[in-house]
Amino acid sequence: MRPLLILALLLAVPAGPAAAGDTRYLAYDAADRLTQALTRGVTLEVERSLFGSISVRRLISTSQRGSAEIRRGGPERVRDALPEGVTAPNIYSIAPVGDGRGLSRALCPGAEETWLAIGRVRLARPLELHAVGRWSDGTLRHCVRLAYNWRGEWSMPPAGPGLDEPPPPPTSR
C-alpha cells in the first residue's frame, strides 16, 4: 500500500504546477432587492488550487464596467462584527485602488477600510458576502449582507500556441 501511495504522489507532483493556479470566472445574479440595488450581478475571478480549494482574486461587475482587487486576509475582529449565526471563513480586504475605492464606499459609506467576509465558494451554489467596515474611531461594524444566486461559469477560449502573440505586421507588395 505504501509504495502505491508514494508512486501516486510522484506522478501527481509533475502535474501540480499545471493544475495549480487554474483561473476561473464564476458569475452570480443578485438574489434580493438590496443586492440588486448595490451591485446587481458579480463575477468572481477565482483561483482553484490543486486540491480544489477556491481563492477569490477579483470581484468584477457583471452589469457595468469595473472590478475590484481583493486580497485574502484581514483582522480577526472582522468575524466578531458579523451578525450572529453567520459563518464566513474567508476574510478579504478590498484594495483601495481603482474601482475598489468606489465599491468600499458603496458597501460601507463612511468607513475608512472595508473587508468582505465570504462563505465557502462552490460551483452551482448560492453565495453570501458580508461587508464589514472600520470607522475613524476604530470600531468595526457590519455594513451589509449581499446574497447571490449561481448563474454559471464563463468559458474561456482554449489556450494554444501563438494565441498570446500579436499578429505579424502586414507585408507590403
- The pLDDT tens digits of the residues spanning 71-103 come to 999 999 999 999 999 988 899 999 999 899 999
pTM summary value: 0.77
Length of the chain: 173
- The pLDDT tens digits of the residues spanning 109-150 come to 999 999 999 988 988 999 999 999 999 999 999 999 999 999
Residue 13 in this model has a pLDDT that exceeds 50: no
Mean pLDDT value across the chain? 84
pLDDT band per the 50, 70, 90 thresholds, residue 62: confident
Q: How confident is the model at residue 173, as a pLDDT? A: 53
Q: How confident is the model at residue 16, as a pLDDT? A: 43
